[in-house]
Structure 1
Amino acid sequence: MPELVLWDIDHTLMATRGVGRELWAVAFEQVTGVALREQASVTGSTERVILRETAQMHGLEYDEELFSRFAAALGAVHVQRAAELRERGHALPGAAAVLAAVDERGVRQSVVTGNVRSAAEVKLAVFGLDSYLRMDEGAYGEDGEGRPELVRLALARAGVSPEKAVFLGDTPADVAGGREAGVRVVGVATGKTSAAELRDAGADAVLDGLDDTEQVLTAIRA
């Protein structure tokens, strides 16, 4: 087993079934005073990039102060509507069992996600996944713009070299980011990207889901 397993969150460990976009829209209007008409692509992106591109779509100026206020608002609205997130969203089949199985083997786990940390913590807690993850060793949307940067930061925070870590994610951006950072990447075809597309992107292994714990452990070990 590796020393460190890093997980993407959305569509890898859980699905928010539209709640995430609704909360994003609330936070956007709170900090800009403008109702969200359209949103930049979120697949494989980070909140900083999504906010900057979405602001441009609405003719708004973007700066770090806007991002800081948005990140705080997004975290707060996740806290306020955690019950709704729990009711409408769900952990993906097998996610909790796999996290528990990896934890039982003494392997450290954390996350690499485009979510800001406060929102990520709410999502993971709502679905009972947070107890398996060392959140201080992860990397989040406020930490950088791209997956390679975030993976490298998580490795540095954990004090683990790339060859001793594995990253699991559901998008080509996850695959590319992990590979650029020098870690082994397991693609999980539970999002919008097919297993074939994840293989074509360069994933070292690809899973159709997390429901077969032994299969996931084998992919992580290989």
Structure 2
Amino acid sequence: MKTLLLWDIDGTLILSGGAGERALVLALEREFGILGTLEDIEVAGRTDPWIARRVLAKFAVPDTPENVSRYLDGYLRALPRELANPHAHTLPGVRELLGALALRKDIAQGLLTGNLRRGAEIKLSHHKLWGHFAFGAFGDDGENRDELGPHALRRACAHHSVEFTAERVFVIGDTPHDITCGKAFGARTIGVATGRYTVEQLRAFSPTAVFPTLADTAAVLAVIDGVPAGARST
């Protein structure tokens, strides 16, 4: 085993049909009696604690640890029901790619996400994808996404008893925050334009590779295996 893949969730593996944002709005009402929206708050690529603090600040609720915890607990309670909507789905090629990777004895897979661990489990279990990931780094580990990579790397090494070198680690995500997070600990990065950013917008952050979707399993595996672009089959 020599290669480690660390996956983002929202916009990369799945789309939740707005379930996460609706759950945050519901938690705001149920926990603090506030009717509001998440307008003007960046959500894509951010950690749940980062988002929670900005939402509370927007509505003049003190962002104490107790209030942040209360708000996020309310969000987790609201999330499962909101996921049961017809627009929540796994993104193109994800199941096929994860299945192909699961057969590779030289590749390990984990998560690197801004979701709380429990939120990640709820979302991926809803789509029957949770079983692909035995470890990861989550929003519970820190508010700053760029600090999450070392947590994921440490857990991967402990889980597999393998010292993964940074140059054989790939962070896969749909936002510039995923790319900068990977670069922060020396990992390679793969952007996928299935979220809110286009191929051109992601390419501006100089990832190792960018794909419009993950539907081309062979092309994604070629990047992971280090096959030069000119030598890849089409």
**Is TM > 0.5 for Structure 1 vs Structure 2?**
yes
Q: CA deviation at 1:32?
A: 2.2
Stretch moving more, 179-188 or 13-22: 13-22
8 Å CA contact 2:52–2:72 kept in 1: the answer is no
Match of 2:215 among 200, 211, 219: 211
Partner of 2:57: 56
Distance 2:74 2:190 in 1: 33
Structure 2 matches for 1:35-184, cutoff 5 A? 35-39=35-39, 40-82=41-83, 84-85=84-85, 87-106=86-105, 107-134=107-134, 137-159=135-157, 160-184=164-188
Amino acid of the residue matched to residue 72 of structure 1?
D
Partner of 2:205: 201
The structure with the largest helix share of the pair is 1
Give the alignment's TM-score, normalised by structure 1. Answer: 0.91
Find runs of 4+ consecutive structure 1 residues off by over 4 angstroms: none
Distance 1:140 1:10 in 2: 13
Q: Provide, for residues 150-184 of structure 1, a one-character-per-residue CA deviation record: whole Å limited to 9, x for no partner.
A: 11211111123322311101111111110111100
Q: Provide, for residues 34-62 of structure 1, a one-character-per-residue CA deviation record: whole Å limited to 9, x for no partner.
A: 12233411021111111111111111100
Distance 2:225 2:31 in 1: 44
Give the alignment's TM-score, normalised by structure 2. Answer: 0.87
Call closer, same or farther: CA 1:123–1:97 in 2, change over 3 Å: same
Q: Identity of aligned pairs, percent?
A: 35
Distance 2:205 2:38 in 1: 28
Q: Provide, for residues 99-135 of structure 1, a one-character-per-residue CA deviation record: whole Å limited to 9, x for no partner.
A: 111111022211111111111111111112112111x
SS at match of 1:156: helix
SS at match of 1:42: coil
The structure with the larger Rg is: 2
Amino acid of the residue matched to residue 191 of structure 1?
G
Match of 1:192 among 191, 196, 206: 196
Call closer, same or farther: CA 1:219–1:28 in 2, change over 3 Å: farther
8 Å CA contact 2:25–2:38 kept in 1: the answer is no
Call closer, same or farther: CA 1:2–1:24 in 2, change over 3 Å: farther
Amino acid of the residue matched to residue 54 of structure 1?
V
Call closer, same or farther: CA 1:2–1:187 in 2, change over 3 Å: farther
- Structure 1 segments unaligned to the other structure (5+ residues): none
8 Å CA contact 2:19–2:82 kept in 1: the answer is no
- Structure 2 segments unaligned to the other structure (5+ residues): 158-163, 227-234
Q: CA deviation at 1:147?
A: 2.3
What is the number of equivalent residue pairs in this alignment?
Answer: 218
SS at match of 1:111: strand
